[in-house]
Structure 1
Amino acid sequence: MLNGKTIVLGVSGGIAVYKAAALTSRLAQSGAEVHVIMTESAAKFVTPLTFQTLSRQPVHTDTFAERDASVVAHIDLADRADLFVVAPATANIIAKMACGLADDMLSTTLLATTAPILVAPAMNVHMYEHPAVQANMQTLRERGVHFIEPGVGQLACGYVGRGRLAEPEDIYAEIVRLMTPDQTLAGRKVLITAGGTLERIDPVRFITNDSSGKMGYAAAQAAQEMGAEVTLVSANVSLPAPRGVKLVPVVSTRDMYEAVMERLDAQDLIIKAAAVADYRPAAQSAQKIKKSEEQMTLVLEKTEDILAEIGRRKKGQFVIGFAAETEHLEEHAMKKVRSKGCDLIAANDVSQQGIGFGADHNELYIFDQNGLVKKIPRSSKLEAARELLRLAAERMNAKGNAAP
């Protein structure tokens, strides 16, 4: 699948270096020409000879070890790369990339390349969650660097948490995707809602829900990768906006309703992944409500039904709604798809551990007016979003709703 492609693999120092060896073997077997650059620390875990044997290419460890007088090695590798992969990527190399440091062969070559870059972090959970590391990663995302998230599990240090290097097969799949981009939504305009809306009781209290916005943000990233022009209407999340996506921040259900309706007519595809508050206080206090009586009655009124209004107003747009359920999933999903005027409903059981609100994975059941269309098994929310969007693109094309 990668025949004729040149991949430069940067290996930095961590126990997960052994997985990079497996990745090198997989890439070479797929026909790629793999050139490995190792940091001094990486060579303390696995010898360069291992990577040389697997890649059938010399391994680079020293900026000044010039083997070919006709070229400068780090510039030559930077220019030849179709894709530059850093796996494992330590906190140190991520910091160097963000700051533009070039003090060894790997960081120097990274600074010189214009090829797409894929980074696979691996480190202790507390290191990964440190604000400095997260800020460096966000800086790189804004520059167009791609990331494959680390896994959750037992770490070499003894901790259990996020920080395990993604499995070689998962990194390989992401490499294939980057080298053979899916542009099935090219020319489409896609509007996605995400997050949980917030309804004020008084200046210090509010009603909301547990939505993290991760599914909607994953859908926005996937749609942008597939060539769409994406508008993301987002309520109350703490996630960085995907690169290349137009972000429209909102707070309440009414805010989201107005933002969506203002932009509805210009869209080809609408995905309503936001968890909208169904009710809001009938009256919002201008001042903090003081505690006085043993009980307090709060009168609520219905909020705007954004999905139903989209269904009423749509003029050929393809509409996907989401249904977060805790019981009778199929029954509730079918009722929703028929009452809201959707083309598809993506339902998930948020009571299941690992796929509920805030989780990094999801399991979706896709329904249309006639029943279950497809089950997307438990996978990352990004991969689930890609599967959902591929299905949407197929159905849009089948309806004759061709891209402009």
Structure 2
Amino acid sequence: MLLAHLYARTPAGELSLGAGSDFAEYLDALCLLGESEWRTAELRRLVLRAATDTGGGLLALLSPTVQAALTAALVDPRRTEGEAIAGLASVVADVNAEVGSLPMVRLQLLLAPAIETCRRLLVGPLPDPLVPQLREVTVAAATLAGRLAFETRDDTASRALYAEATREAERLARPWRKASVHMSHALVTLYSTQGLDEARRLVDQAVRAARSGESTLVRARAHALQAEVAARSGQERQAQAALGLAWYDIEVDHTGDPAPTSFSPGHLRGFEGVCELYVGDPSAAHDRFARSAEVLSAPREQVQRAIVTTDQALARIRLGEPRAAADLLHKCVAAAATTGGRVPALRLRKARQELRPWRREEWVADLDDHLMDVLGS
């Protein structure tokens, strides 16, 4: 830990954690010496958290050479080099990797300069070969920023950022990218608005784009989300058909898939549980949620794990086990507080509403105290 903080600083005392920095070389050395990937990722996360505590931001995620390349590019976009675009892409990937580990507001602060840099460079004139690369970075950055704006309860900014991501994705002519934008937008719409019509429209657009795209994993995720919307509408047959398509896509060979980490069987089991919860057997839903939560163990997956566990608690309530449900919800409170995420908080509120028939029980009062102490709600 001491060496990590030492190598995170340049000789001039500035933070530098990006590719090519002494800190990155230090982590590579630890890996070569046999340290696990999980431990080095955790070490990086702790240093990054310390950097944001003291006001470090975008520049901490870039090596000095990339900083210089970006500075030159912003002065004259015609001088933009591939190294500068790759540096922006690494910042977006770094911020995305910390969802669930750092508070959403901190992630917004880290991402905002990258978004603005992408916009300024796209105005150009940029060397033609670099335009598609920069557009891909812009799509990823705007989609993530839209999700973060939603999580921090700025729905107007969220809609504008998703619209920006959709426009740039259409210009890319890579349908799976467009499908990913629609799915992210559909999820926040599903959680933040009354009714399912707008979410269903976005999901249908995602499915159409994914069917003509190169990623079977993105297509599997689109079908899984389509199944959830159908189940929430009480359409059991349509939900089961969409789940079948999702399993078909997820069980094929994914060698060369452009989005290899976008979806997994663990995620799909969570969607299966949601479908069982609304149009099937609560007992089967509970078991699927439990299996899904077990495999969602990575730091990046903690938000999803909290959502799945909250849904597992809903299944317990419908099985007539409200006290066991309350025990599960206690576990979700800490995750919602750590990330500052809006979706886990919304799901917790819905689950708490389901416990109203037992509101006079001491164990419900304990849960309310926990919610108030940690979330203030």
TM-score, L = length of structure 2: 0.28
Higher helix share: 2
Q: Which has the larger radius of gyration?
A: 1
TM-score, L = length of structure 1: 0.27
